[in-house]
Structure 1
């Protein structure tokens, strides 16, 4: 009976030792030299060496890995800023690829892009043409007003209020039309620049996708595009 009990005890002890060995192997052994020059060994990262590299050793004594020092608040802030910039750059890259796919889907070939350019600029030209026509009409009205003012050339202050009002309204309307035409000319340049920039990108996308991008002759398409 005692012999049987002793065997069970020995078996349990052996099992306990095996478990301890497995735990030690799993946890590893940490070794370092602290700021005071002391060599410290422990079964977990050594707090006294948090500011320097520590070695994690295998039970055999070989180096399993090097444990980096705990970063300072300044280092953590710098790393967080670096990670933030990397995330923003990755997000921009994803967005750029999305825009490229949408651009290529909208303009699968050069002639499609040229046609939309011509339509966009043509619409602006029609608006400018209408405003220019109105400007010409206002100019003719101004001539008639000036003719009426000839009677008061020696003393314009004596001109009747309705005539003065016609002159003010004409000058105001003419100023509005000229400003509107200038704005449309600026819009035309902006649209042209946008299509030029798109074309540069599209040429790259067409080449990468193997799309046929042969241009067609369009009268309103910019030369050399």
Structure 2
């Protein structure tokens, strides 16, 4: 004869309980499997069930509730990491929805977006041209000062000339920094409008008339 099944072992364990524990007022019976895989039951949770999954069973043998085993430290850490990731994804989705709403509220049409892009790029380009023009003016002034400096090749420069050369060089360096920043700003504007345009097309694709 083969080994009894777990269901049979459970039934035997229930039958082995005192009659009062089985039938008194419909009291719940607590059952789990011990470390050897054998059923352990009682009208209170048996000590060997602590820290394990267990079942709450009616005196008629039906499972009222299944209580899972407590999570291990690794399982808790994994669930916490999953929860953090879920919240981060929800935050990103919420932020994207807000950006999408703002995009659709800002531009009535794709041509409206394109017009704003052209104006923004034109303004940035004009500002860059002004910076280049200022640099050219400074460079021209520096060239004149350099020509004057040739007259003092073998002599000490007059303090006024030396000071003006230092001021010009410092201002040119500052203007180059500003021009570099404006160049990056222009690329940022172009990239931002490219991304806005791509997203706007995605959001309005279903609303576009079909040909």
Q: Residues 125 and 44 of structure 1: is their aligned pair in 2 closer, same or farther, counting only changes over 3 Å?
A: farther
* TM-score, structure 1 as length reference: 0.71
Q: Once the 2 structures are TM-superposed, how far is the Cα of residue 171 of structure 1 from its aligned partner?
A: 1.9
Q: 1:7 — aligned with what? A: none
Q: 1:191 — aligned with what? A: 189
Query: For structure 1, which runs of at least 5 residues remain unmatched after alignment?
Result: 1-17, 213-225
What is the correspondence of 1:1-225 to structure 2 with a 5 Å cutoff?
20-21=25-26, 24=27, 28-36=28-36, 38-153=38-153, 155=154, 157-208=155-206, 210=207
C-alpha offsets along residues 168-197 of structure 1, whole Å, 9 cap, x if unaligned? Answer: 222222222222212211111111111112
Contact 1:50 1:70 in 2 (8 A): no
Q: Residues 38 and 182 of structure 1: is their aligned pair in 2 closer, same or farther, counting only changes over 3 Å?
A: closer
Q: CA RMSD in A?
A: 2.6
* Counterpart-to-counterpart distance in 1, 2:150 and 2:80: 78
Q: Once the 2 structures are TM-superposed, how far is the Cα of residue 198 of structure 1 from its aligned partner?
A: 1.9
Q: Residues 63 and 194 of structure 1: is their aligned pair in 2 closer, same or farther, counting only changes over 3 Å?
A: same
* Counterpart-to-counterpart distance in 2, 1:113 and 1:48: 70
Q: Residues 56 and 159 of structure 1: is their aligned pair in 2 closer, same or farther, counting only changes over 3 Å?
A: same
Query: For structure 2, which runs of at least 5 residues remain unmatched after alignment?
Result: 1-22
* TM-score, structure 2 as length reference: 0.75
C-alpha offsets along residues 133-169 of structure 1, whole Å, 9 cap, x if unaligned? Answer: 212221222232233233224x1x4332212222222
